Amino acid sequence: PFWLKFIASNLQSSSVAAAAMTGAGGGKGGHYQLGFTLSPLTADGKLDTSGDDKGGKHPVEEDTLYKMSLENREGGNKLIQSGDYESAVARYSELIMQTRALEKETDVEWTDHGRDLVRQLRAVAYLNLSLCFLKTKQWTHAINTATRAIQGDKDPADPKDDVLPKEKKAKALFRRAQAHREGSSDLDKANQDLRQALDMTPEDKNLQQELRRVERDLSQAQKAADKKMTGFLSSGKRVEAGEGIFTEDLRPDPSSLKAPELKEPVKLSEGLYLAPKDKREEVAQEAADSGDNPAIDYEDLGREIAEMKEEKPELFKQVQARVKELVEENVAAVEAQTGEEVDQETAVDVEAPAENKPECPVAAPA
């Protein structure tokens, strides 16, 4: 609309006067008086309509949004020069929103060159935003805007948004490296960005100086880490005497490391049980210890089972099924034996002493 554009870009002179509002304590009713004059006139006194949208298809350079974006860029640049970074952020942010809206315009005669103009305008805005955020020590925003200047603000990144020339892309990497170093002390990322920037502009003295500073900080951090590790591993005379760096009260109690004693079989997974050690296992162990039977090398056995599973899967399944049957039979036998012992104990508990047995006959079960 003409008036929005007119107010934003064609305001040549304005004057605003406001009368002071008298307070209630002064005895008079408070009021404002506001007046203004606008003069959108050409040199010959006629109404300036040069920026009006005449309608129809037109090149992107003649679009109102594009012209307003350029004005925001120039305004933001002037604010940076004066040190008003917060106001500059507002101008560049408005520029970015304008270029996004511009790309959706259907009355623009879009060409590859026209779209590149809009992308470059937005990329430079992000580049300048990264400077503003560096100056105001907003490190995360500085990193994000520098990244968007390089690759655009789409997710995932659109290769067509990679429009900055090498010199400006190196500047974005330089600013992102500064934010990494000063904001998060991430020297590795800073070093990576600076080296990438120097590949683009190897003669840049500022980049060379910043890289030397980061490499010096990295070297000092590595020396500090090495010194700390050396102090940890060597604690003076005690270590030299072989006493170690840990005290004896830190040693765990061996009794607390013993595995819990099982009282009944526990099923770990299909076909795999953990059973308590019974007398037969004790006898087998004693026999193995005495040399009557060769001891089992469980490491070799495990390796052979793994090879069987890999090379002969059918045989492995047969062995697995057979082992499962044997384990289940063993479990059933243990449960049956336990049941018999419980029945016998119960019978002994309820049996009366011989001298106190009743003389009346006991009926036999039917």
In whole angstroms, give the CA distance from residue 190 to residue 196: 10
* Residue 13 pLDDT: 35
The answer to whether the bond into 365 is cis (omega within 30° of 0) is no
- Whose CA is closest to 77, among 92, 65, 66, 94? 92
* Residue 247 pLDDT: 64
Label residues 229-253 b or e (16+ Cβ within 10 Å = b).
eeeeeeeeeeeeeeeeeeeeeeeee
Q: Are 189 and 180 in contact (CB under 8 A)?
A: yes
* Residue 243 pLDDT: 57
CB-CB neighbours of 163 under 10 Å? 21
* Residue 47 pLDDT: 76
* Residue 24 pLDDT: 37
pLDDT block averages, 10 residues each, the chain of length 366: 43 35 39 48 74 75 96 97 97 97 95 96 97 96 97 93 96 96 93 96 94 92 78 56 61 70 72 62 56 61 80 85 84 71 45 45 43
* Residue 360 pLDDT: 42
- Whose CA is closest to 146, among 170, 120, 172? 172
* Residue 196 pLDDT: 96
